[in-house]
Chains A and B, each alone.
Chain A
Amino acid sequence: MLPNQTIDPRQWVKNHADYMYTYALSRISDEEQARDLVQETFLAALERIDKFEGKSSERTWLTAILKNKIVDVYRKKSSGLISTDTLKEVHDMQEFFWEDGHWREDHQPKHFGVEDHDPLHNKEFNQVLQKCMQKLPALWLAVFTMKHMDDEPTNVICTQLKVSDSNFWVIIHRTKVNLRACLQKNWI
């Protein structure tokens, strides 16, 4: 049976390497690791090239392999759990809210001053956001990235990262409260 889509490993580097590097780097923010993942992906793809059925494009197929490798990295990073995570600059919820649930005055959200000025295209603001994301614990960042960048279904994230459903929501909440606070601290 002839595949609908052709595959040509000799053209992979030329056609897909930059794309895949960009894809990996935006999700793990480590140049060397992103580079290695691209290489590993190509080699892994070669090994199972006979599994390519031509149902999707070559790039889609390669990206799916890369994506799995990224999840492996997330999993490895977050399984170190407490040891590495305590080094990160995150705050407990008690630091943001009083016992009765009210915002503590010093942690109340304030206007960033960019809300009405096309923040999406504000380069400096985006850079602060990326720095703040890097301060998150590995597991939180993994959950956050998979949900917000890749729109993965919640149950897939929970299974792949071994997080319970209730813990998932706790992480989503804590991540955003911390991320927003970090933006406020470093921007205003």
Chain B
Amino acid sequence: MSRLRNIVYNCRQATYLIEKRLVGKITFREKVQLHIHFYGCSVCKLFNKQSSMINAMVKQLLIKNGQPDLKLDEDFKADMQHRIEDELNKK
């Protein structure tokens, strides 16, 4: 009972389980506890929604939805090209 109380009334624990569920696995028992918590706690429900949204946004920062790549400075590129040619000529 005390363990159940822990999660059902504990937002700190609930948010921990929310994060654990998002990137890994939680047990069936933990899932049930989390659902009971959500039932009585709209704040953690909101946290859950926002947390998933943040994850989706972070992922998107990388995928960029087909946006073009950033451009590396042309001088720097030319310099790199030279260094590569030099190395190749050494061989």
State the A residues within 8 Å of B (CB): 9-10, 12-13, 17-19, 21-22, 25-26, 35, 38-39, 42-43, 46, 93, 96-97, 100-103, 108-112, 115, 119-120, 125-126, 129-130, 133, 144, 147-150, 154, 169, 172-173, 176-177, 179-180, 183
Contacts and interface: CB of A to CB of B under 8 A. Distances in A.
A19 B77 CA distance: 13
Contacts, number: 127
Contact of B57 (A100, A109, A119, A177): A119
B50 A115 contact: yes
A76 to B, nearest CB: 22
B84 A25 contact: no
In this complex, the member of B23, B47, B73 whose beta carbon has the largest number of chain A beta carbons within 10 angstroms is B23
Given A144-B58, A176-B19, 5 more contacts: A22-B69, A26-B62, A43-B84, A102-B9, A109-B46
A148 B58 contact: yes
Interface in B46-91: 46-47, 49-51, 53-62, 64, 69-73, 76-77, 80-81, 83-85, 87-88
Contacts of A110: 46
Interface of B: 6, 9-13, 15-16, 19-20, 23-24, 43-44, 46-47, 49-51, 53-62, 64, 69-73, 76-77, 80-81, 83-85, 87-88
A176 B80 CA distance: 39
B47 A9 contact: no
Nearest to B87: A46
A149 B50 contact: no
A18 B11 CA distance: 44
Nearest to B16: A173
Question: Secondary structure of the B side of the interface?
Answer: helix
A119 B59 CA distance: 13
B27 to A, nearest CB: 14
A17 B73 CA distance: 10
Nearest to B23: A147
Contact of B83 (A39, A154, A176): A39
A173 B24 CA distance: 12
B87 A43 contact: yes
A149 B64 CA distance: 12
B2 to A, nearest CB: 13
Given A42-B84, A173-B19, A176-B19, A101 B70 contact: no
B84 A26 contact: no
